[in-house]
Amino acid sequence: MPESVRAGRRRSAAPSKGDLRELKILEVLGGLLAVKGFDALTTADIAERAGLSRGSMYFYFNSKQEALVALFARTVEALREKSRAAADDPAAPREAIATVMRRTRDRWHEHGLIMRVAIDQSPAIPELSALWQETADIFIDAIAKILVRAGVAAHGGPDGAQALARALCWMVERSFYHASAVSPEALDEACETCQVVWLRVAGLDS
């Protein structure tokens, strides 16, 4: 392949200036959440920290709410990918559960603040609520498939794999939400406890 064609492909694959500015805005928003909180910060705060005029800021996001949705979407995409991978994990159920819990804990370690803010704001921002529900549904599907592989019945009753998976999903979400606001150690402990519960539900605690 001619060098000019390869160079052209490299250039086309590189992020545009607009992409980089948008990423900068989201990084700035993440930083401001840690020092100012979502309710207190303004679009002007984000623009100033990102080195943009307010007019330029509105070219990318019309509001701080819209920017938060974009930031949260980037954050949960990795959770979605890991949950999909967990659903098809060929490892034994016990190992698959440990892998899911470790990956989920690591995401909360890294992005707990963003996830807590998004969860807190979801009643007022429907897009956030939809994103989180879609992510939870993928996680629930992965949990249910692992439970079925462990021998849990797949019927639709309250003790079926899907119902148990739903309860486990929201147990993990609430436990990680609260623990991540306390300390990394608390989050690690919450992860261990949730894993114990999941193993018992799956009949793998012996």
72-206 and 1-62 share a CATH fold: no
Domain 72-206 CATH superfamily: Tetracycline Repressor, domain 2 (1.10.357.10)
In whole angstroms, what is the distance from residue 147 CA to residue 96 CA?
A: 10
Note the pLDDT of residue 10: 44
* Model confidence, pTM: 0.87
Helix 64-87 and helix 93-121: axis angle, to 10°?
A: 170
For residue 173, which of 119, 125, 122, 121 has the smallest C-alpha distance? 119
Q: Which fold has domain 1-62?
A: Arc Repressor Mutant, subunit A (1.10.10)
For the chain, the domains span 1-62, 72-206
**Which residues, given as ranges, of the chain have pLDDT below 50?**
1-12
3-class state of residue 121 by DSSP: helix
The single-letter DSSP state of residue 182 is T
Closest CA to 61 of 24, 17, 35, 111: 24
- pLDDT, one tens digit per residue, over 167-184 is 999 999 999 999 999 999
The pLDDT value recorded for residue 86 is: 83
